[in-house]
A and B are shown apart, each in its own frame.
Chain A
Amino acid sequence: MSVGSPLNIGLILGAVIATAAVLIWVERRLLAVWQDRLGPNRLGPLGLLQVAADMIKILSKEDWVPPFADKGVFVFAPTVIMVTMLTAFAVVPIAPDVGIIDFNFGLLYFLALSSLSVYSAVLAGYASNNKYSLYGALRASAQTLSYEVFMGLSVMGVVMLAGTFDLRVIVEAQQNLWYIVPQCLGFAVFFIAALAESHRTPFDLPEAEHELVAGFHTEYSGIKFGMFFVGEYIGITLSSAMMVTLFFGGWHGPLLPPVVWFVLKTAVFIMLFILIRGSLPRPRYDQLMAFGWKVMLPLALVNLMLTGALVLMVGSDA
């Protein structure tokens, strides 16, 4: 088995989609635990078959396009998030021989695709011809544009330390020291930016249900709504995988095989995403924007200059 073999491609695609499906159940169960409830526990062992039931239900719902909507764009919008998020997975180095492709600009590819995914929300809101959807879309674009700027800057510290955009080389460079140690500031900024990009609480203002119904996907139902949902979970998985790759040594770890380490570490971050949803309130819109521009952007720039000085002082072997 080698990077980019057909078996690799098939297994990774299958695993990512299966993870996204199981996450629906995981999130409901974990939120229930943290809120002192039971959550879905009836179907199958621990309620695991809930995943299958949800899938059957959502597939059998009417495939409806509202007559007042812009039809083509309305159908196109939910596919954007699915395709961009799934395609971005191609550059994630899962283990020494597991992955789809190794680019020497893998990190840029990830940043590009994760910013493309905002078109999903914007087009959906625009095509729905519904005022709530439009406001959701505007908020989504404003928020993503603001947090986009320092998301890229926050990972440049890692690039400086490793001297490359190639994700596999970045992981290999963390053999002895995970980049979370010299880059804890960069990680904090990246984590918050990733949270904002995925439009989840506390950054879920584009779909804040008590002011905008469901934001940009108000008019969506059935499988097209499901695609936004699954796309969001794939986004979370992708962000977690990137955090592990960039800051937590990727597949490195003692005893267990590399793939297991990668999956375990990624699972921890996915659960952290869910814990944050279960514990933090949603800020006001202007607070969210001000936080991005006035706190995170200067922090990212300061981290960058500090890392640059560090790299040059320690010398080329750092």
Chain B
Amino acid sequence: MNVDRVQVESLVPLAIYFLLVLGVVGVMLAIPRFVAQRRRSQARDEPFESGILSVGDTHLHLGVHFWPIAIFFVIFDLEAIFIFAWAVAVREVGWPGYLEMLVFVSVLLAALVYLWKLGALDWRTRRQQLQDSLLSERG
């Protein structure tokens, strides 16, 4: 297999298409400026939070349980990139490559099982965990 390189000229259709897409989106955003109605009403400038007056702003402290997701993503998606590279070359590298990949994926799965046992993949709230454990005790 020869080493494929993308010629700049062959990207011209994509560039034209991309510009057209930008144009369409631009026109969509522009039309209401000319035809849209304008209204005034009392609570218009308040954030809509189910009819309750908004308190404070959104620069609040967030639960830390969103943070591990980002870390797991970085770990596992990086591993996925290595697998991508193997997937296109699977025939060229043959069985030796397969065995190496088997070890790699096993390590990946072991890491997943470790996270699982650690409880890192449990996004239930404390109350939900309590409820579930009570339910399983009762059988």
Contacts and interface: CB of A to CB of B under 8 A. Distances in A.
Contact of A130 (B4, B18, B49, B128): B49
Interface of A: 3-6, 8-10, 12-13, 17, 59-63, 66-68, 75, 79, 82-83, 86-87, 90, 100-101, 103-104, 108, 126, 128-134, 138, 141-142, 145-146, 148-149, 152-153, 156-157, 159-160, 163-165, 213, 218-219, 222-224, 226-227, 284-286, 289-290, 293-294, 297-298, 301, 304-305, 308-309, 311-312, 316
B58 A164 contact: no
A294 B121 CA distance: 8
Contacts of A312: 90-91, 94-95, 98
Given A129-B58, A146-B73, 17 more contacts: A4-B13, A9-B20, A60-B36, A61-B32, A67-B45, A68-B45, A82-B25, A100-B17, A101-B11, A108-B84, A152-B77, A159-B87, A222-B32, A293-B112, A301-B109, A305-B102, A308-B98
The SS class assigned to the A binding surface is helix
A87 B95 contact: no
B69 A142 contact: yes
Given A13-B24, A68-B45, A90 B112 contact: no
A75 B25 CA distance: 11
Contacts of B83: 153, 156, 304
Contacts of A5: 13
Given A138-B66, A156-B83, A101 B45 contact: no
Interface of B: 4, 6, 10-14, 16-18, 20-22, 24-25, 28-29, 31-33, 35-39, 45, 47-50, 54, 57-58, 60, 62, 66, 69-70, 72-73, 76-77, 80, 83-84, 86-88, 90-91, 94-95, 98, 101-102, 105, 108-109, 112, 115-116, 121-125, 128
A226 B27 CA distance: 13
